[in-house]
Each structure stands twice: as structure tokens, then as C-alpha cells.
């Protein structure tokens, strides 16, 4: 049996940019309810990070008339690893070229998924330096725990709607070295969803089949809390603030994470993780395949079923089924 040599060139999800048509309300959601801190502003963008994110930012929020994905940022495991991945991306035909970088990081290489979701890969990052009044005695985190809302700890993953899950999944495996951890096979043989990672986490990225057929859309971004109790606590605040909860708290079969889905006021779906789920250390991991008759357990291990909207709503959207926050 041949064994494919693993590629360890992508280290982590470093940041994500999303668009919001309602910047003030979105900023209130991320800063005052999820406890993100603002690092910097630049034109139509605000750079934010959770209190255990170590770099300049993990979320870039940019004003646009329509919500959706700006880009996903990946950090390579070394400058040499970056060059190797760029070679592979250029050969794929989906490379776009080098850019100067952005606030918080140096030169980056732009590319798109087969569906067209914009991506960047980079090495050179600026580490967050807490101002005097935010310095902490706990050296294992880069700043004090905020006292606003129920603060999330770090950016966890992105989930993208794809017109063809298999194509997008395979691109991440072949050109970026991701490992397939779990997937859903539909009765007609197509893949309904795929969860991939470069670390022991079950996923840093997932692709879900876009039932509208459109693809190239954002399904959700996710932040990690750590404790399931936080999901109940933040649910109280969301109800009081008029933030619509789509589903949860509940537990996924895939990844075993505790979850809560809400719509931030700009219209993008945000997932909150209440548990790390399980971790994968086996270098010869065999992807877990859920079949169509197991979808319910795959998506909701326990808790109420997901509304149909979960499978068709992504950003950008045609008709907003969400009720925007206050
Ligand atoms: Fe998720």
C-alpha cells in the first residue's frame, strides 16, 4: 500500500475578513457581546481579535452593501513552506499573485478555491502587544480577559458553501496539505459536506454543499469559547439584545463540538463553540464517512433539529430570512 507523504506547510487559520452592510451594529455584536477587541481601523475596515488570539487581528470587518466573505487567511509553517505552497497554487491555475500584505501581516499570496472563495496565505505576522492597561499577569494569554459580554477566546474555523464539495475539498488536500477528517456521502454518491484540518482540530475549514446550487458563499465563521456554559450565558444576552439565534445550543456528531448559531446584525451566520470536541493525533487517520441516513446524528448529536434555512442560507444571499439584530 502506498502512503502519501504528509505536507505540513500550512500551520493554521490566521484570520478571516467578512463584509457587513451595518458596521455599527456588527461592531456592537463582535465587541460588546462576543468581547472582541479592536486593534486598528483603516478606511472601511476594522481589525478585531479575541483575547487569546496572538496576532494583530483574527477578524477584519469591512463595510460592503452586501454581507459575505472578504477572504480567509492561512499562515504557513515557515517562509520556505510559503514558497512551496505558492508553487503548488500557481500550478493549480487558481493562484492570483502576491500582494503587499495588510495591517498586521506582510506579503501574502492570493488564490481562490475552485468555487471562487478568496484566500490568502502568508508567513510574516505582527504579534499583538497589549497596551499598559490591557497587560495580564497570566503569561499564557496576550491580554486581559475582557469584561464585555461573554468573551470568546479565539477564532476557530470557517465553513464555506460550495457548488461542488469534492472539488473544493480535493484542492485543499492536494495544494495545501489538509487532511480530510469527516465527510457526508449522499445517496447519489455526491459529498454533502467535508471537514478538513492541518492540526489535531477536526477542522479549520469545512465545505457544505450549497443546496441553492450557487456556491462561492460563506456559511459561517466560528469562535471558540471553551466551556459549554458560555453558550447558555451568551444566549441570554442575545435574546435581550435582539440577536436572532438560528439553532442551539446543541451538540454536533461531526467534531463533537457544542454549538450555537446566530446571525450577526450584518447578516452573516456566526457559530459559537462551547467545547473543543475531540482531537486527532493519528497520522494515518481514516476519514469518518457519514451516510445520508446518518445526517441527523452527524449534524445534531443532541438538541433541536436545524431549520431548513441552515442548508440554504449563506452570504451573500438573495432574500434575507434572518431578522437583523437591533
Ligand atoms: Fe462550524
Q: Give yes or no for residue 63 having a pLDDT over 60.
A: yes
Residue 155 · residue 266 · CB < 8 Å: no
Distance 317 CA to ligand 1 centre (A): 19
| pLDDT confidence bin for 1, thresholds 50/70/90 | low
* pLDDT for residue 66: 94
Domains and CATH numbers, the chain: 10-124+153-311 (3.10.180.10)
37 Cα: distance to centroid of ligand 1 (angstroms): 22
> Is the pLDDT reported for residue 49 higher than 80?
yes
Confidence of residue 325 (pLDDT cuts 50, 70, 90): very low
pLDDT, tens digit, for every residue of 285-295? Answer: 999 999 999 98
pLDDT band at residue 319 using 50, 70 and 90 as cut-offs: low
Nearest Cα residue to 42 out of 133, 106, 103:
103
Question: Which residue in 72, 238, 233 sits closest to 155, CA to CA?
Answer: 72
pLDDT tens profile 191-239: 999 999 999 999 999 999 999 999 999 999 999 998 999 999 999 999 9
177: how many CB neighbours lie within 10 A of its CB?
Answer: 20
Task: Give 186 Cα–ligand 1 centroid separation in angstroms.
Answer: 19
Residue 253 alpha carbon to ligand 1 centre in Å: 12
**Using alpha carbons only, what angle is made at residue 102 by residues 220 and 203, rounded to the nearest 5 degrees?**
30
The confidence band for 323, taking pLDDT boundaries of 50, 70 and 90, is: very low
- C-alpha separations of 100 from 19, 43, 44, 87, 105 in Å: 21, 17, 18, 18, 9
Mean pLDDT of 24-41: 98
Determine the distance separating the centroid of ligand 1 and the alpha carbon of 132, expressed in angstroms. Answer: 35
Provide the mean pLDDT of the chain. 94
Pairing, β 95-99 against β 154-162 = unpaired
pLDDT at residue 233, as a whole number: 96
pLDDT in the model for residue 226: 87
CA dihedral angle for residue 232, residue 234, residue 240, residue 244, rounded to 10 degrees = -90
User: 2 C-alpha vs ligand 1 centroid, how far in Å?
Assistant: 32
Could you give the CA distance from residue 93 to residue 28 in angstroms, rounded to a whole number?
40
| Mean pLDDT along residues 109-125 | 98
160-175: per-residue pLDDT in tens? 999 999 999 999 999 9
Residues 262/243, Cβ–Cβ less than 8 Å: yes
Distance between start and end Cα atoms, the chain: 58
Sort 108 into a burial class: Cβ within 10 Å, 0-12 / 13-18 / 19+: buried
Predicted confidence (pLDDT) at residue 326 exceeds the cutoff of 50? no
The answer to whether residue 141 scores a pLDDT higher than 50 is: yes
Three-state DSSP at 132 gives: helix
- Residue 91 in contact with residue 111, Cβ under 8 Å? no
Cα–Cα dist 45/42, whole Å: 5
Amino acid at each position: 500500500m502506498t502512503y502519501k507523504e504528509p505536507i505540513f506547510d500550512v500551520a493554521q487559520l490566521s484570520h478571516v475578513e467578512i463584509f457587513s452592510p451595518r458596521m455599527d451594529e456588527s461592531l456592537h455584536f463582535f465587541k460588546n457581546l462576543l468581547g472582541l477587541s479592536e486593534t486598528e481601523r483603516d478606511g472601511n475596515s476594522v481589525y478585531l481579535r479575541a483575547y487569546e488570539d496572538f496576532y494583530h487581528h483574527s477578524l477584519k470587518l469591512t463595510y460592503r452593501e452586501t454581507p459575505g466573505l472578504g477572504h480567509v487567511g492561512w499562515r504557513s509553517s515557515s517562509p520556505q513552506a510559503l514558497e512551496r505552497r505558492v508553487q503548488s497554487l500557481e500550478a493549480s491555475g487558481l493562484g492570483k499573485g502576491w500582494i503587499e500584505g495588510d495591517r498586521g501581516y506582510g506579503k501574502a499570496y492570493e488564490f481562490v478555491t475552485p468555487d471562487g472563495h478568496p484566500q490568502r496565505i502568508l508567513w510574516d505576522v505582527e504579534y499583538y502587544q497589549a497596551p499598559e492597561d490591557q497587560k495580564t499577569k497570566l503569561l499564557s494569554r496576550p491580554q486581559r480577559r475582557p469584561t464585555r459580554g461573554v468573551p470568546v477566546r479565539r477564532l476557530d474555523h470557517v465553513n464555506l458553501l460550495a457548488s461542488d464539495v469534492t472539488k473544493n475539498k480535493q484542492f485543499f488536500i492536494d495544494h495545501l496539505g489538509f487532511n480530510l477528517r469527516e465527510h457526508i456521502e449522499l445517496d447519489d454518491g455526491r459529498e454533502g459536506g467535508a471537514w478538513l484540518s492541518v492540526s489535531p482540530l477536526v477542522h479549520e475549514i469545512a465545505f457544505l454543499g450549497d443546496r441553492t446550487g450557487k456556491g462561492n458563499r460563506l456559511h459561517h465563521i466560528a469562535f471558540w469559547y471553551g466551556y459549554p456554559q458560555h453558550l447558555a450565558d451568551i444566549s441570554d444576552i442575545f435574546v435581550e439584545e435582539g440577536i436572532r439565534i438560528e439553532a442551539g445550543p446543541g451538540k454536533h456528531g461531526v467534531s463533537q463540538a457544542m454549538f450555537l448559531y446566530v446571525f450577526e446584525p450584518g447578516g452573516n451566520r456566526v457559530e459559537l463553540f462551547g467545547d473543543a470536541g475531540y482531537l486527532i493525533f493519528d497520522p494515518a487517520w481514516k476519514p469518518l464517512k457519514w451516510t445520508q441516513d446518518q445526517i441527523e446524528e452527524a449534524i445534531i448529536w443532541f438538541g433541536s433539529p436545524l431549520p431548513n434555512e441552515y442548508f440554504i442560507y449563506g452570504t451573500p444571499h438573495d432574500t434575507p430570512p434572518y431578522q437583523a439584530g437591533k
